[in-house]
Structure 1
Amino acid sequence: MGNREDLLAGARRCLFEKGYTRTTVRDISNAAGGVSMAAIGYHFGSKEALLNAALAEANREWGDELERTLSAAAEPNSTALQRFEANWTAVLDSIADHRGLWSATFDILAQAGQDEATREQLAAGLDEARRGLARLFEGIDESDTASGRAIGSFYQALLTGLAAQVLIDPDHAPSGKELAEALRRITG
């Protein structure tokens, strides 16, 4: 690995262990095996840009893993509500398995209001996430922007809300079964 890749890997470790706001340039340098602190500026421009890039990369990898997980959870002859339950059970398990990623995500969300570059990067990632979730959960082609945006926004809201509940109170976060039952009642 080169310095750029070492810095990304080090930043990622720091994000998961210390969080976005508590990570220093020195922390990243040490986690990257002693790569020069000046290399952060050379390769990324700033500590924030490096942390943003590391988190974006981790989120894309989590999305790829989630896609594999949901493919395995799918039962071919199940009803839409049964698929919903199975999918969200798998998602909840994945959130619990990736607490560091989700903690870092919420940490960076708090920074978005204070840093325009971070907000813009998050907005671009959010659009990508919406399209990906619409494709994952409903098989919506990413070129179907109207449906993809609406359905992806719904799933993004559900995902973010569930992640918050799992981080705050994992013992009382809803299960996939409870979510499916709520959806059944709502759509009555």
Structure 2
Amino acid sequence: MGNREKLLDGALQCLFEKGYAETTARDIATTAGVSLAAIGYHFGTTQALLSTVLFQAMEQWADELENALNDEGDAALAPADRFVAIWTRVIDSIAANRALWTTQFEAATQVARGQGPDWDWTEAQGGAQAGLAELFHGIDGDEEPELARTVGGVYQALISGVVLQHLVTPELALSGRDLIDGLRAIAARLDP
């Protein structure tokens, strides 16, 4: 394993153990077993390294989410049962990736303060919305961009809220069944 890979592994470990704001270049270099200069050589800055590793970790989770959404056993289920099954797997994935989500929320807070990962957040959010619309409902963002934005945005909001509930108050957090029951109750109150 080269220094670049060691830095990526070390940075991820530090992010999950110390958090975004508390991880220093020295922490990463020590954990990776490389010199501080290696960060500059391979990534330019510590923030660029942290942005890279957090983005990679989120891409891995997105792949996991896609797998959760594409379970072949769901095809025989009624739409509501499929929704519950998918959200149950999504919630299980959230629990299994608690450190990633804690770090992502912290990084988002740092972005709001002008100190977080230097991603193109507009592009990242648009891509996430389009991807979620495609994954959940097969909506093509190129053919129906506004529908993909709104449907994907609703799912993005649901995921963010469910993640936050499971991080902070797991005993009160919604299950897949709770989500569909809540959505049905809301929809029933929207129609006169």
| Gaps in structure 1 of 5+ consecutive residues | none
CA shift in 2, pair 1:119/1:182, >3 Å: farther
The 3-state SS of whatever aligns with 1:118 is: coil
**Percent of aligned positions that are identical:** 45
> Hey, what does 2:84 align to over in structure 1?
85
Report deviation, 1:169. Answer: 0.7
What is the distance in 1 between the residues matched to 2:21 and 2:183? 37
Cα deviation, 1:84-124, whole Å, max 9, x if unaligned, reads 21111111111011000000001101110232773643333
Report how many aligned residue pairs link the two structures: 187
Q: Cα–Cα, structure 1 residues 73 and 185, in superposed 2: closer, same or farther, change >3 Å? A: farther
Q: 1:105-120 maps to which residues of 2 (within 5 A)? A: 105-115=104-114, 118=117, 120=119
* Deviation for aligned residue 1:175: 0.6
CA RMSD, Structure 1 to Structure 2 (Å): 1.8
Other-structure match for 2:39? 40
Shift of residue 74, structure 1, vs aligned partner: 5.0
Bigger CA radius of gyration: 2
Deviation for aligned residue 1:7: 1.1
Q: Structure 2 unaligned segments of length 5 or more: list them.
A: none
CA contact (8 A) 2:51 2:119 kept: no
What is the distance in 2 between the residues matched to 1:45 and 1:172? 43
**1:1-188 correspondence runs (5 A):** 1-32=1-32, 34-72=33-71, 74-115=73-114, 118=117, 120-144=119-143, 145-188=145-188
Residues 92 and 175 in structure 1, CA contact (< 8 A), matched pair in contact too: yes
Q: Compared with structure 1, are the counterparts of its residues 124 and 92 closer, same or farther at alpha carbon in structure 2 (3 Å cutoff)?
A: same
Partner SS state of residue 74, structure 2: coil
**In 2, distance between residues paired with 1:154 and 1:67?**
17
Cα–Cα, structure 1 residues 187 and 111, in superposed 2: closer, same or farther, change >3 Å? Answer: same
Which amino acid in structure 1 is aligned with residue 69 of structure 2? L
Q: Distance in 2 between matches of 1:123 and 1:95?
A: 23
Q: CA deviation at 1:22?
A: 0.9
Q: How far off its partner does 1:164 sit?
A: 0.6
TM-score in terms of structure 1 length: 0.91
Asked whether the equivalents of residues 40 and 46 of structure 1 are also in contact (C-alpha less than 8 Å), the reply is yes
